[in-house]
Structure 1
Amino acid sequence: MELGISGRVAVVTGGDSGMGFESAKFLLREDVKIVLTDVDEAALQAAAKELGTLGDVRAVAADLSGMPGVETLKAFADTAFAQKPTILVNAAGITGATGDFLELSDDDWLETIQADLMVAVRVTRAFIPAMRAAGWGRIVLFTSEDAVQPYVEELPYCAAKAGLMNLTKGLSKAYGADGVMVNSIAPAFIATPMTDAMMEKRAKEKGVSFDAAIESFLEEKRPGMVRKRRGRADEVAAAVAFLCSEQASFITGENLRVDGGAVLTMGS
């Protein structure tokens, strides 16, 4: 399928690994120029070097948990290529604090909300004006199955991701008439460094192997995942690339699940 985005510039946050990295890879294959960002300079530069074999990539390390980092990213992105970005993929995020609701502090909540909701607020606010001026834009935010199917041990993350779904719908209504399509992707249990860490912790706690930890997690925590495996980052990235494309010109305000059936209801 011809995606019709050759020559455009995309900003990809959380791009040094996992779903952000794979999303950048898919967009590069469509001849999109990439501005890649993450917080770890060494990991980011290694990722940019690898992705650079596929196309034009520029990288800048930035801590998006505050406005100075967002301003650094925007200044870099606006001058990295001959045109300003009209695609934004916000894959940055953390699991954040987990545990009993009554034992989680305000700081636990605020750290997760800052990383998983406010980063998206800041970066979309920074890049929407240029998209409106161009009369064309694509924004993809990363939510989660947790946004609609909360898990009691992950409530800060669940609440932040639910907020992202609402933000997606609101932005789609605010800027759709300007040609800016805003959608979200809701992955579930994808093989990334984040879920690797979760499973390593689970394996240690249960005294089992890494693979056994995954198997028991699927059985106990994700019974709806009919494929009985973790998803792959490239399976998510393929959906991201489509939502960034000209082919998605009549799709906005949607939350596309890439979850192997994890969500057990018909609702959003």
Structure 2
Amino acid sequence: MQIDLRGKKAVVTGSTAGIGRAIAEGLARAGAAVVINGRGEERVGAALRDMRALLPEADITGLDADLATQAGADDLAARAGDADILVNNVGTAKPKPFLELTDGDWRDLFELNVMSGIRMTRRFLPAMTRRGWGRVVFVSSESALAIPKEMIDYGMTKTAQLAISRGVAESVAGTGVTINAVLPGPTNSEILSNWMKATAASEGISQDEAEQDFLRTMRPTSLLKRFTTTDEVANMVVYLCSEQASGTTGAALRVDGGVLRQIA
């Protein structure tokens, strides 16, 4: 399969590192012009320099904006211009017991993980439907279906993304625009890798041992028995953004290493 996205423009939120960065690089390799995004100008600039050095022939631009706010989302959409592909990737997670979560914790995570995707989709979707072609992908998580007790607020936001993705897909049926979600499992992304590094340092073990301990205790149903790579997640997203995936919409596709014990 040869995926060719030349002539398409993609916006990938939260793409200075981790899964988002891998997605942006994958789309650029497939020929798309890519807009990367992060919260800080310095971080976006560093990522942009690295990516342009890695892919000198690619058309990559960078825009800083805080997508946890309406103003930030409006600013990014205005500066990015039109787009054929939108990947709603930005998000975060902070393990915290349920009884310690404040109202502010719930609101802040919802604004970033959920409202960012709603706002960005609302801005880019109308032009996609007018053209009769577009791709919107929400990066959710296996935690949407197997809510982690240590991150209930995170699981809630990821479940919300699935409802939004399916609902928006229903709303644009027959337009040539597809809306899908991807569910990664434990992945060597920046956030989880940093967590594993800190755990390894505190316990005096290697990061690989920390990851294996995490899988045994927190995700024992993993069939892969290792963390997925960011590129493995990105490959699924790039496919969903391609012409070859034109028959897939309203779906939630897993890249979870078999953590979820279900066949549908």
Question: TM tier, shorter chain?
Answer: over 0.9
Q: Structure 1 residue aligned with 2:106, among 105, 109, 124? A: 109
| Structure 2 match to 1:85 | 83
Amino acid at match of 1:94: T
Contact (CA 8 Å) 1:168, 1:184: kept in 2 or not?
yes
Contact 1:70/1:123 (8 A) holds in 2: yes
Within a 5 Å distance, the mapping from 1:54-65 to structure 2 comes to: 54-65=57-68
Q: Secondary structure at the match of 1:177?
A: coil
State the AA in 1 paired with 2:64: A
Deviation at 1:207, TM superposition (A): 4.5
**Contact map agreement 2:4 2:31 (CA 8 A) in 1:** no
Runs of at least 5 residues in structure 2 that lack an aligned partner in the other structure:
none
Shift of the alpha carbon at 1:205? 4.9
Q: What is the match of residue 18 of structure 1?
A: 18
Partner of residue 149 from structure 1, selected from 142, 146, 149: 146
- 1:55 and 1:107 mapped to 2: Cα distance? 40
**Conserved? CA contact 1:29–1:54, under 8 Å:** no
Query: Which one is further off, 35-44 or 85-94?
Result: 35-44
CA drift of 1:5 comes to: 2.5
Superposed CA deviations along residues 211-254 of structure 1, whole A, max 9, x for unmatched, are: 22111111111112222111100001111000000011110011
- CA distance in 2 between partners of 1:50 and 1:60 (Å): 15
Q: Secondary structure at the match of 1:176?
A: coil
Q: How many residues align?
A: 261
TM (norm. structure 1) is 0.93
1:244 alignment partner AA = C
Does residue 231 (structure 1) correspond to residue 228 (structure 2)? The answer is yes
Matched, 1:66 2:69: yes
Q: CA RMSD in A?
A: 1.4
Question: Could you tell me how far apart the structure 2 residues matched to 1:48 and 1:36 are?
Answer: 8
User: Are the aligned partners of 1:28 and 1:54 in contact in 2 as well (CA < 8 Å)?
Assistant: no
The amino acid that maps onto 1:21 is R
- Deviation per CA, 1:114-145: give whole Å up to 9, x if none: 11111111111111111112111100101000
Instruction: Compute the displacement of 1:177 (Å).
Output: 2.0
Aligned-partner SS, 1:92: coil
Give TM-score scaled by structure 2 length: 0.94
Write the distance in 2 (CA, Å) between the matches of 1:147 and 1:54: 37
- Matching residue of 1:28: 28
The aligned residue for residue 78 of structure 2 is: 75
Correspondence for 2:169: 172
Task: Determine which of 109, 121, 126 is the counterpart of 1:124.
Answer: 121
Indicate the larger mover: 60-69 or 200-209: 200-209
Note closer, same or farther for the CA distance 1:202–1:229 as it changes in structure 2 (3 Å cut).
same
SS in structure 1 of the partner of residue 66 of structure 2:
coil
Superposed CA offset, 1:61-92 (max 9, x none): 000111111111111111xxxxx211001111
Corresponding residue SS for 1:262: coil
Identity of aligned residues (%): 35
Whether the 8 Å CA contact 2:68–2:108 is kept in 1: the answer is no
Give ranges in structure 1 of 5+ residues lacking alignment. Answer: 79-83
AA aligned to 1:31 is G
Take 2:202 and 2:46, find their aligned partners in 1: how far apart are those partners?
32
126-135 or 160-169, which deviates more: 126-135
The residue that corresponds to 1:136 in the other structure is 133
